[in-house]
Amino acid sequence: MKRKKLVFVGLVMLFVAPIVLAEDQKKEISVNEAMKCFCANWINPAYYKSEFFTGIKIMNKNGTWEWYDNETSESPTWEGRYEIEKSWVDKDGNVWLHVIFDEGDAFPKKYALVKISDAGKTLELVYDYKAYPTVDPETWPYFIMYRK
């Protein structure tokens, strides 16, 4: 009887373990590697009613970000700092980040989950990654931007 149980448990582990492990595959990457994807000019003009307000967010390699109202703005409307806490690549090649955005003393820090997909061309973001463990367009606030 013990032998049958042992064979049964062995077969279950042989078939079930790879499925469980495949679903949770993620490889941690360094902050420097993550910044290669994250540091760019991001834009999504479809979010805004006016063609004059396109909203460009620039993520700089020195840990700062800048928000410009449109492509002709000479100076940023808003600035802040960011820190990447954690970064990894999933089994599909998407880059994931836990990012803390600091918008200055007047605002609380925002904790974001960022997904960069489509060979680094698409950035999706939700705030409060502790409450939202994945990026879901049905979650508010959800943002999607494209590499400019």
Asked if residue 18 is part of any domain, the answer here is no
Residue in this structure with the two tokens 């994250």, named with its chain if needed: 38
In the chain the beta strands, taken as DSSP E runs, fall at 26-28, 41-43, 56-59, 64-68, 78-90, 95-102, 110-117, 122-127, 142-147
Asked if residue 102 is part of any domain, the answer here is yes
Asked if residue 5 is part of any domain, the answer here is no
Percent of the chain with pLDDT over 70: 75
pLDDT mean across residues, the chain: 80
Asked if residue 14 is part of any domain, the answer here is no
Residue, of 122 and 14, whose pLDDT is higher: 122
Instruction: State the total domains in the chain.
Output: 1
Residue 3 scores a pLDDT above 70: no
- pLDDT score at 134: 78
Percent of the chain with pLDDT over 90: 43
Q: What are phi and psi of 16, to 5 degrees?
A: -85, -40
Please state the rounded mean pLDDT for residues 39-49.
76
Global confidence as pTM? 0.74
Asked if residue 36 is part of any domain, the answer here is yes
**Domain, as residue range, for 48:** 28-147
Measuring CA to CA, how many Å separate 117 from each of 25, 63, 141? 16, 21, 19
Asked if residue 107 is part of any domain, the answer here is yes
**Which tens digits make up the pLDDT trace of 77-101?**
889 999 999 999 999 999 999 999 9
Asked if residue 1 is part of any domain, the answer here is no
Asked if residue 8 is part of any domain, the answer here is no
**Which tens digits make up the pLDDT trace of 4-42?**
554 454 544 444 444 444 445 789 999 999 999 999 999
